[in-house]
Chain A
Amino acid sequence: MSETKEIIISTDKIHTDQYLVNMGPQHPSTHGVLRLLVSLEGEVVHHIQPHVGYIHSGIEKMCEAISYPQIIHLTDRMDYLSAHMNNEAVALCVENALQVEVPDRVKYIRTIMDELSRLASHQLWWCVMGMDLGALTTFFYGLRDREHILDIFEETCGARMTVNYNLPGGLMFDIHPNFQKRVKDFLKEFKTKLPEYDELLTGNVIFRQRVDNIGHLTLEDAIAWGVTGPSGRGSGFSCDVRKHQPYSAYPMVQFEEKLDTKGDSFVRYRLRIEEMWESIHIIEQLIDNIPEGDYAVKMKGVIKLPEGEFYQRVESARGEFGVYIVSDGKKNPYRVKFRSPGFSNLFALNKMAAGHKIADLVAIMSTLDLVIPDIDR
């Protein structure tokens, strides 16, 4: 007995230390220039300290010098995967401030575009998720399907990612005559492809081992850290702005807010796949019923907001995106603040990933669906 005790004491004397690893700013799995300072004990992650700001571009400050239509085009460059939602948030904010009511046609088209962006964003997230876990083929299948959506954007908006399709008071152009047909064709094809996603990844036993019961986030933590979007809903945080503060055509469509309380990586994964089905469902309800009418209301040449503070939030693909404008009555805002979902989501990473392995850290980070310019703006 005494002998065993001695052995235990002597192992205590072996000095083990945590060591720091810089994941990033150049690292394949951070999808951009994000730096995670990870302290490790062997393979086990002990603490994660994200360092942001490597591609901070000062968009908020730039906004103070330019007019409102020009601000919209800058928001394309923040979360470039949900450019439409970002555009729309600013446009809606300006419209609300001026109390402009846009025609129904605009609302419908905006909503369809939002949901197409959400689909495109989730597709890209899906391929990257697979790639982070080492299933490289998913990357190409996701991109293949996303290509159709980008084509739709390109035909109607003139650009594939930095669409800049919204203006205060409406849209840049009317939809292209082919738009409805293309969208319907795409939906028909994508509905056959989405089950393939499930077969390739969702059901795969290796994948399930990697994400099931990994990276738990409790409801309290989700609310405390402001984790929104599918990541927050995975923890049971009902935070879908489309439901709680409907804007554009969302009041007119039927859809479900997908919620789950388990809060692990797989739930976050599954909710995004289910959201894709919901998006398809929403677009299907709208695409045949786009009302006739103008695609924009006439606005003044120089848009000036009344003095005051204005806030508008929308549901971007990653969570709640908010625009806060302080105006002093000039044509430029006094101050603009963007509440980007990625920023809040990123900082909950430590809560989720501490105690897991490095490989899990990568998987958990994927389920948060981070876009670095969205974090750094």
Chain B
Amino acid sequence: MNGLFEYIKTVFKGVGTLLTGMKITGSYFFRPWKHVTQQYPENRETLKMFDRFRGEVIMPHNENNEHLCTGCGICELNCPNGSIEIISMSVLTEDGKKKRAIDKHIYHLGMCTFCNLCVKACPTGAIIMGQEFEHAVWDRTKLTKVLNLPGSKIAQGVKE
């Protein structure tokens, strides 16, 4: 008799735990306004990444098409996977001295692991992390970018 009682108890207890689970899922079913997913391409306008989000390395230019990069190559040294190539050139300053300047700051987005080490290492703060995250392109060569804009030059007063 005791066994039968136990048997019935297990049946009811089991059903009880199942109903508890169904209560949880059911409570979410009947609260559809609690959806947590986003409709991604539709919400492009309102979708804003956090300031620190590391989407790609960019080099900001001011309105005179000037940047802060001296071409020192420290970012290239700090990059763990060779995503940055610095091609420097020498320019003559006004007082006739030779000085190193950036010719091309080549950035291979396809190889970058977004580790932030180059940004951290850059002595002049010439490169920062951009928030763009839609990087898909049709052609892999498009992933190789030259960060300094054509015709740009170094801003006044940047010391090495």
User: Which residues of A are in contact with B by a Cβ distance under 8 Å?
Assistant: 66, 69-70, 73-74, 137, 144, 147, 151, 154-159, 162, 164, 167, 172-173, 176, 196, 199-201, 203-206, 208
Q: Which residues of B does A touch, CB under 8 Å?
A: 13-14, 17-18, 20-21, 23-25, 36, 49-50, 52-54, 78, 80, 113-117, 120, 129
CA distance A91 to B151 in the complex (A): 42
Main secondary structure of the interface of A (DSSP, over half): helix
Residues of A with C-beta under 8 A to B120: 167, 172
Assembled-state Cα–Cα distance A109/B113 (Å): 24
CB-defined contacts of B36 to chain A, threshold 8 Å: 144, 147
**Chain B nearest CB, measured from A318 CB (Å):** 23
Of the residues A164, A167, A200, contact of B24 by C-beta under 8 Å:
A200
A204–B23 CA distance with the chains assembled, in angstroms? 12
CA gap between A70 and B78 in the complex, in Å: 8
Which residues of B have CB within 8 Å of A144?
36
The residue in B23, B54, B80 that gathers the most chain A C-beta atoms within 10 A of its C-beta is B80
Contact partners of A162 in chain B: CB under 8 A: 113-115
5 A-B contacts, Cβ less than 8 Å apart? A164-B115, A164-B116, A196-B24, A200-B25, A204-B18
Instruction: Give the tally of cross-chain contacts (CB within 8 A).
Output: 69
- Tell me the nearest residue of chain A to B25, going by C-beta: A137
* Distance in Å: Cβ of A257 to nearest Cβ of chain B: 29
The reply to whether B113 and A158 form a contact with Cβ atoms under 8 Å apart is: no
Given A74-B80, A167-B120, A199-B23, 13 extra CB contacts under 8 A: A66-B80, A144-B36, A158-B116, A159-B54, A162-B114, A172-B120, A173-B52, A176-B52, A199-B20, A200-B20, A203-B17, A205-B14, A205-B17
Chain B residues within an 8 Å CB radius of A199: 20-21, 23-24
Are A69 and B117 within 8 A (Cβ)? yes
Pair A157/B18 contact, Cβ less than 8 Å: no
Q: In the bound complex, how far is the Cα of B17 from the Cα of A147, in angstroms? A: 28
In angstroms, Cα B50 to Cα A156, docked, is 9
> How close is B114's CB to chain A, nearest CB, in angstroms?
6
Check A73–B80 contact: CB distance below 8 A: yes
CA distance A272 to B42 in the complex (A): 38
| CB-nearest residue of chain A to B117 | A69
Q: Are A159 and B25 in contact (CB under 8 A)?
A: no
The residue that B80 contacts in the complex, of A70, A155, A200, with Cβ under 8 A, is A70
